[in-house]
Amino acid sequence: MNIGRAVLSLTAVTGLVALSACSAADASGGDGRLKVTASFYPMQYLAEQIGGGHVDVTGLTKPGTEPHDLELTPRQTGELGESDVIVYLKGLQPAVDDAIAQSGVADTVDAAALTPLEDHGTEVDGHHHTTGDNHSGDEGGEGDHGDEEDAGADPHIWLDPVRYAKVAEGVGKALAKADPDHAAAYAKNTTALVKKLDALDSDFVNGLKNRTSDTFITTHAAFGYLAERYGLVEEAISGIDPESEPSAARMKELHTLAEDKGVSTVFFETLASDRTARTLAGDLGLKTAVLDPIEGITDKSAGRDYLEVQHSNLQALRAALGAK
């Protein structure tokens, strides 16, 4: 009788353990890892670096796809709702913002809420540029270049290593909240990544010393925060939206500016069209080079990850600005 009860109790306990283990596996993607969905590469990079082996990260934006233009399939929208954590940047991809709002996922990390966004894309004192003092964090102004709808908060915060480090810290805290059992690992990985980003910041500061020019021309206004951080002036052919077309007045202004400021190089990107940039460079007899906004890593990227491509960007800026 007692033996029978013991067997029955053991069976019940075993069943409960199996049931709870199954539930835990279901909540974490079936293999015990936290299911994290990242909206595009810079968010995916943070989740992978901080999460390590404890997370299963899915990126919504395929390499080589322009993130601004992303449209989600019904399947992607459905899978989004199965995430444990979503890491995204509100305002960059409207389709993603809408899907997240309807997903019902409790643990979401909005990078735009972790560091203040600034309005790059509005005309300031008749000029279309972003400028700033070294490490000042003060506001800059970037032209809308004839496209009023293009004005507004600039989402490209990841190109400033200091702002990106703030986002990394927020992602680390979110992963720890969703998966307390591995909080120590997430904290350790966050600290290691922030240290690397601090070193990258120092590399930019030191690498851009003794430059002969502050001004560079880009295809679209992606580098406002980077320019502001290091006291540079970004002159963009298009505005925040890489698809916007520059006005004739803007092109004329760039011709004058390039001559006045001693601009040597017109930068284009790997994902956006380089047609206008190459035309402008050809008209002015300037060099062309790549300055990568790191919205995705492809075979054409000058590096295998965020840090490597940022170092390539630094070398390209050094050459264009005459840094010794």
> For the segment 59-113, what is each residue's pLDDT rounded down to a tens digit?
999 988 889 889 999 999 999 999 999 999 999 999 999 999 999 999 999 999 9
Is the same domain home to 58 and 195?
A: yes
Is the same domain home to 274 and 306?
A: yes
pLDDT at 258: 81
Residue 49 pLDDT > 80, yes or no? yes
Is the same domain home to 280 and 236?
A: yes
Is the same domain home to 272 and 219?
A: yes
- Which residues sit opposite 105 in a β-bridge? none
Question: Which range has the worst mean pLDDT, 21-25, 180-184, 284-288?
Answer: 21-25
Tokens of 239: 């505005």
Residue 168 pLDDT > 70, yes or no? yes
Residue 308 located in a structural domain = yes
Burial (CB count <10 Å: 0-12, 13-18, 19+), residue 162? middle
Residue 164 located in a structural domain = yes
Residue 125 located in a structural domain = no
Residue 120 located in a structural domain = no
pLDDT at 282: 81
pLDDT band (50, 70, 90) for residue 241: low
Question: Which range has the worst mean pLDDT, 20-29, 76-85, 292-301, 310-319?
Answer: 20-29
Question: Which range has the worst mean pLDDT, 6-10, 164-168, 175-179, 215-219?
Answer: 6-10
Residue 121 located in a structural domain = no
pLDDT at 30: 65
pLDDT band (50, 70, 90) for residue 191: very high
Higher confidence at residue 239 or residue 36?
36
Higher confidence at residue 228 or residue 251?
228
pLDDT at 242: 59
Q: Are 46 and 275 in contact (CB under 8 A)?
A: no
**In angstroms, rounded to a whole number, what is the distance separating the alpha carbons of residues 155 and 88?**
11
**In angstroms, rounded to a whole number, what is the distance separating the alpha carbons of residues 139 and 294?**
23
* Domain endpoint, select from 169, 199, 229: 199
pLDDT at 204: 98
Residue 27 pLDDT > 60, yes or no? no
Is the same domain home to 171 and 255?
A: no
Q: Are 270 and 242 in contact (CB under 8 A)?
A: no
pLDDT at 190: 98
Is the same domain home to 219 and 301?
A: yes
Higher confidence at residue 263 or residue 128?
263
Residue 215 located in a structural domain = yes
Residue 274 located in a structural domain = yes
Residue 24 pLDDT > 80, yes or no? no
Is the same domain home to 74 and 147?
A: no
pLDDT band (50, 70, 90) for residue 11: very low
pLDDT at 240: 59
Say what angle helices 183-207 and 41-51 make with each other, to 10 degrees.
130
> What pLDDT digit, counting tens, does each position of 56-69 carry?
999 999 988 889 88
* Domain endpoint, select from 172, 199, 226: 199
Is the same domain home to 95 and 165?
A: yes
**In angstroms, rounded to a whole number, what is the distance separating the alpha carbons of residues 114 and 112?**
6
Domain hosting residue 309, numbered range: 130-152+204-321
Question: What average pLDDT does range 39-67 have in this prediction?
Answer: 95
Higher confidence at residue 126 or residue 76?
76
Higher confidence at residue 205 or residue 218?
205
Residue 195 pLDDT > 50, yes or no? yes
Residue 181 pLDDT > 90, yes or no? yes
Across the chain, what does the average pLDDT equal? 82
Residue 308 pLDDT > 90, yes or no? yes
Is the same domain home to 193 and 295?
A: no
Is the same domain home to 182 and 83?
A: yes
Is the same domain home to 234 and 311?
A: yes
Residue 185 located in a structural domain = yes
CATH number, residue 302? 3.40.50.1980
Instruction: For residue 46, give the nearest of 180, 225, 194, 202 by alpha carbon.
Output: 194
Instruction: For residue 234, give the nearest of 146, 157, 121, 88 by alpha carbon.
Output: 121
Is the same domain home to 41 and 60?
A: yes
> What pLDDT digit, counting tens, does each position of 251-306 carry?
788 888 888 888 888 898 866 667 777 777 888 888 889 999 999 999 889 999 99
Number of structural domains (the chain) is 2
